[in-house]
Structure 1
Amino acid sequence: MKYVSTLLLPAGLLVSAGAYAQSSVTLYGVVDAGIAYVHNAKSSNGTNQSTLVKFSSGNVSGSRWGLRGSEDLGSGLSAVFQLENGFNVGTGALGQGSREFGRKAMVGLSDRTWGTVMMGRQYDPVVDLVQGLTEDASFGGVFATPGDLDNYDNSLRVSNSVKYVSPVFSGLQLEALYALGGVAGATGNGRTYSFGAAYSNGPFSFGTGYFHANGGNTNTAGVRTWTGSSDTLFNTVVNQGFASAKSIQIARVAGQYVLGAATFGLAYSNTQYGADGMSSFRSTAKFNDGSAFVNFQISPVLRTGVGYNYASLTGPASAHYNQVNLGADYAVSKRTDLYALVGYQKASGETLSSSGALVSAQASIGSYGVNSGTGTQALAIVGMRQKF
């Protein structure tokens, strides 16, 4: 997600007078909140579909605050770090599993010629190089793939990872990541690896990448609880039936073209949830997803967008999801904007329940995370966002 940083803490607060003068730390953040209306939300008793009106945090951008800094080590080399906390504006609660710095926590070295190496909890190369070319970058997770089954909206981060980011060579940038599983005697258990590339030339931008995460060991009862270095994606009825997967594999590609006041974008992903003897399903679940969007900069302060997303499931079940979205954003100032988001999704066919039984597919718009209890769902959100 995008953010703007405006506060620089004096380097003298952090380093001695003899340290390099180019050292700095930046405090930044985003506060995003609104009111959401959901038609078809599963009721508390789990049997009926109801209308839901709720306070909603992080609709266009995840609400956060963070610190990032660098220290000039000389000869083009710098030490860098970033700590980023996610939170819910409505309750003040921590996000990302109640982690203090669940969005990002990394330290590394950056060289102007050779690139940057970072260690910690961070985004994978597919997110870095492909997500910014989708409508998620403009209007947030409501436009994401149903249930965010392919990490369209950055639902997962990777812990205990090492990532390399190359400099930009004539518009081309490369990234690679490897995360340690930390399982004695089984190096592959719990590990994650990913790589990607992006190219930009004038009005055209393109990105592609691959991600693979291993779910780690099972517990003493033989049930997989996903102890891998990667977070999981099994957050809604769209894919909760595959939470016992041995692995997550995602291949994504996206591109966009700017023509005057309009921006056109296309994206495709293939997501596979691998099964083994400890999984509640027996064959690999494959989701293929295609999306398209068009944005219009109507005026310097008003931007609108429309997006369409289609996802299909094959393997242990067969399901289809069609989703359309509309968005509008009005900039009150450089740091503050007002927005409105609308989404509609229709699901058909069958998927798996958490117990592995075949059930009718249910709608769940983007990464919003509300289960419908039925095959259709509509959503509308109005809100505001301030960056600092």
Structure 2
Amino acid sequence: MTMKITRMTSIASISFAFAASAHAQSSVTLYGTLDDGIAYIHNSGGQSSQWKMNPGGMSGNSWGMTGREDLAGSVAAIFKLESNDNPNNGTLGNNGRMFGAKAYVGLTSPTLGAVMLGRQNDPLSMLVSNVTADSYFGTFATPGDVDNYDGSMNFDNAVEWASPNWGGVTMQLMYCLGGVAGATGSGQSYAAAARYSNEHLNLATGFMHVDNGNAVYSERGTTTADSVFNSAVNSAYESARSINIARVAGNYLFGSLTLGAAFSYSQYVPDASSTFSDTEKYANGSVFASWQVKPDFYTIVGYNYTKSSGDSSAKYSQVNVGIDYLLSKRTDVYATSGYQHASGQNGLGQAQAVVGSYAVNSGASSQIVAIVGMRHHF
């Protein structure tokens, strides 16, 4: 399961005030999320059934700290350190990195926005994903997360700017330095996204480019982005020279009912060092409806369709449902399930069903994932 960036339930936090002078205020806030559950998977690794513990069914398990120091005028220094972890065995996520989710320092101003340096999430994950059904459950994500719908990729060496809110419009820009001697563009990533929000309407769009490493100057896969090649859906294209992702999404609130739709188009581009020759393309469309039955209870249903072309010819149809009940402002219990059917060829052979971003290869043309869990914010 990949790590979520944000969720609709508010996060309560505990703040500790540090020493302050007459001209500046400083603070550090500790926060985190624990999310764990039990999953049943029909068709997993060629076996007909599997029961397993499933951390992160709604939110990535994380803990971290964020800080702020007021400087001259309205400018403030900010930082964030965040770690992902697995509550079932205590191990760190992000390949064992202590602060593999986020680690950045920057400056912020109410008129100029924020500039941040370090390991970060990309603008599409921050502005576009929150408009989609990914704000609810990972089962609703694109098969294998081939378009980074669910934030499989975090980014190293990032310089990111986040705008103020201009009448409902916010923007983010990111550039990640590849750092390879003799090849400035090798391993670099860049992205831009924008969102408009008012009381009822949310619209968002963005584009991202990831260079997967110049094979002449470094090994293929030497890049600023985490791997998105986590399942049989796209693992045949791990040698791609670069990845391009464009996304657009929107939702509208009708009282207690929210309707939304999203579309993404992804390209996995080869070169002479790749093991495939035709650009692999993924077109994904999704719709969802969420009903806030009561302030502490909501339900959601969705449909997700993905079609690949270029080097492969796979199709993935996915239906999802979910419910969430708040026991308090910080604790909730949930249940979610997804069914997917796959057909065609995925570049390695017969396409396998892989529900959402859970990256469990089915070894079959269909898969069911059902999860019950509990989440607590602190």
What's the offset of the Cα at 1:21? 4.4
Say which SS state the counterpart of residue 346 (structure 2) adopts: strand
Say which SS state the counterpart of residue 139 (structure 2) adopts: helix
Q: Which residue of 2 aligns with 1:134?
A: 132
What's the offset of the Cα at 1:19? 7.0
What's the offset of the Cα at 1:10? 1.9
Q: How does 1:20-169 map to 2 (within 5 A)?
A: 20-42=23-45, 48-139=46-137, 141-169=138-166
The answer on whether the counterparts of 1:350 and 1:361 sit within 8 Å (CA) in structure 2 is yes
The answer on whether the counterparts of 2:12 and 2:330 sit within 8 Å (CA) in structure 1 is no
Q: Which residue of 2 aligns with 1:327?
A: 322
Measured in 1, the distance between the counterparts of 2:200 and 2:136 equals: 17
Measured in 2, the distance between the counterparts of 1:198 and 1:361 equals: 35
What's the offset of the Cα at 1:97? 1.3
| AA matched with 2:167 | S
The answer on whether the counterparts of 1:103 and 1:122 sit within 8 Å (CA) in structure 2 is yes
| AA matched with 2:365 | G
The answer on whether the counterparts of 1:76 and 1:112 sit within 8 Å (CA) in structure 2 is yes
| AA matched with 1:162 | V
Say which SS state the counterpart of residue 355 (structure 2) adopts: coil
- Offset from partner CA, 1:155-184 (integer Å, 9 cap, x none): 101100100111011111111100000011
Gaps of 5+ in 2: 1-5
Measured in 2, the distance between the counterparts of 1:194 and 1:219 equals: 25
What's the offset of the Cα at 1:23? 1.2
Say which SS state the counterpart of residue 59 (structure 1) adopts: coil
Measured in 1, the distance between the counterparts of 2:199 and 2:14 equals: 31
Q: Which residue of 2 aligns with 1:365?
A: 355
Q: Which residue of 2 aligns with 1:232?
A: 227
Q: Which residue of 1 aligns with 2:255?
A: 260
What's the offset of the Cα at 1:49? 2.4
Say which SS state the counterpart of residue 350 (structure 1) adopts: coil
What's the offset of the Cα at 1:198? 0.6
1:289 aligns with 2:284: yes
Measured in 1, the distance between the counterparts of 2:212 and 2:11 equals: 35
Measured in 2, the distance between the counterparts of 1:334 and 1:126 equals: 28
- Offset from partner CA, 1:175-218 (integer Å, 9 cap, x none): 11000000111101010010111101220010000000101133
Measured in 1, the distance between the counterparts of 2:23 and 2:153 equals: 36
Tell me which of 338, 347, 365 is aligned to 1:375: 365
| AA matched with 1:170 | G
Measured in 1, the distance between the counterparts of 2:214 and 2:91 equals: 30
What's the offset of the Cα at 1:223? 6.2
1:246 aligns with 2:253: no
- Offset from partner CA, 1:286-342 (integer Å, 9 cap, x none): 000000000001111111000110000000111100001000000001100000011
| AA matched with 1:305 | I
Q: Which residue of 2 aligns with 1:215?
A: 212
Measured in 2, the distance between the counterparts of 1:8 and 1:243 equals: 43
Q: Which residue of 2 aligns with 1:172?
A: 169
Q: So what's the TM-score if we normalise by structure 2? A: 0.96
- Equivalent residues, number: 371
The answer on whether the counterparts of 2:305 and 2:318 sit within 8 Å (CA) in structure 1 is yes
Measured in 1, the distance between the counterparts of 2:38 and 2:350 equals: 30
The answer on whether the counterparts of 1:223 and 1:278 sit within 8 Å (CA) in structure 2 is no
Q: Which residue of 1 aligns with 2:3?
A: none
Q: Which residue of 1 aligns with 2:200?
A: 203
4+ runs deviating over 3 angstroms? 17-21, 217-220
What is the aligned-residue identity percentage?
Answer: 49
Measured in 2, the distance between the counterparts of 1:240 and 1:20 equals: 54
Q: Which residue of 1 aligns with 2:376?
A: 386
Measured in 2, the distance between the counterparts of 1:97 and 1:219 equals: 26
The answer on whether the counterparts of 1:11 and 1:21 sit within 8 Å (CA) in structure 2 is no
What's the offset of the Cα at 1:103? 0.7
Measured in 2, the distance between the counterparts of 1:374 and 1:87 equals: 30
- Offset from partner CA, 1:68-93 (integer Å, 9 cap, x none): 01000021100000000000111111
| AA matched with 1:308 | Y
Measured in 2, the distance between the counterparts of 1:369 and 1:102 equals: 19
The answer on whether the counterparts of 1:5 and 1:26 sit within 8 Å (CA) in structure 2 is no
Measured in 2, the distance between the counterparts of 1:219 and 1:28 equals: 43
Say which SS state the counterpart of residue 142 (structure 1) adopts: helix
Say which SS state the counterpart of residue 57 (structure 1) adopts: coil
Tell me which of 9, 24, 36 is aligned to 2:16: 9
Say which SS state the counterpart of residue 126 (structure 1) adopts: helix
Measured in 1, the distance between the counterparts of 2:375 and 2:318 equals: 25
The answer on whether the counterparts of 1:347 and 1:361 sit within 8 Å (CA) in structure 2 is yes
Measured in 2, the distance between the counterparts of 1:329 and 1:104 equals: 27
Aligned-residue RMSD, C-alpha: 1.4
The answer on whether the counterparts of 2:213 and 2:219 sit within 8 Å (CA) in structure 1 is no
Say which SS state the counterpart of residue 354 (structure 2) adopts: coil
Say which SS state the counterpart of residue 364 (structure 1) adopts: coil
Q: So what's the TM-score if we normalise by structure 1? A: 0.93
